[in-house]
Amino acid sequence: MFPWEKNVRKVVPYTPGEQPNVTGMVKLNTNENPYPPAPGVEKVLKGMDTDALRLYPDPTAGALVHELAAYYGLQDGQVFVGVGSDDVLAMSFMTFFNSGKPILFPDITYSFYDVWADMLRIPYRTCPLDEDFRVRTEDYLTENGGIVLANPNAPTGVELPLDEVERIIAGNPESIVIVDEAYVDFGGHSAMNLIGKYDNLLVVQTFSKSRSLAGMRIGFACGSTALIRFLNDVKYSFNSYTMDRTAILTGVEAVRDEAYFRNTCRMLIETREWAKKELSALGFSYGDSRTNFIFATHAHIPAKTLFEGLRARHIYVRYWDKPRISNYLRITVGTREEMEKLFKAVKEIGGDLNL
> Which residues make up the interface to ligand PMP (CB under 6 A)?
84-86, 110, 150, 154, 180, 182, 206, 208, 214, 219
188: number of Cβ within 10 Å: 20
Q: Considering the complex, what minimum distance in angstroms separates the CB of residue 150 from ligand PMP?
A: 4
* Strands (E) located in the chain: 26-27, 79-82, 103-106, 124-127, 147-150, 177-180, 201-206, 219-223, 284-286, 293-298, 315-316, 329-332
Shortest approach of ligand PMP to residue 54 CB, angstroms? 28
Beta bridge partners of residue 316, listed in sequence order: 27
Closer by beta carbon to ligand PMP, 183 or else 284: 183
Taking the complex as a whole, the smallest distance from the CB of residue 137 to ligand PMP amounts, in Å, to 19
Residues 6+ apart with CB under 8 A from 134: 158, 160
Nearest residue (beta carbon) to ligand PMP: 84
Closest C-alpha among 216, 218, 215, 214 to residue 204? 218
Residue 57 or 219: the one with the smaller Cβ distance to ligand PMP is: 219
Q: Between 85 and 95, whose beta carbon lies closer to ligand PMP?
A: 85
Q: Taking the complex as a whole, how short is the minimal distance between the CB of residue 185 and ligand PMP, in angstroms?
A: 13
Q: Which residues contact residue 40 at a Cβ distance below 8 angstroms, ignoring those fewer than 6 apart?
A: 253, 254, 256, 257
Q: Can you list the positions of beta strands (E) in 173-321?
A: 177-180, 201-206, 219-223, 284-286, 293-298, 315-316
212 vs 350, which CB is nearer to ligand PMP?
Answer: 212
- 188 vs 219, beta carbon nearer ligand PMP: 219
Q: Which is nearer to ligand PMP, 86 or 166 (CB)?
A: 86
Report d(CA 201, CA 86) in Å as an integer.
18
DSSP character at residue 262: H
Please check whether residue 12 is in contact with residue 117, taking contact to mean a CB–CB distance below 8 angstroms. no
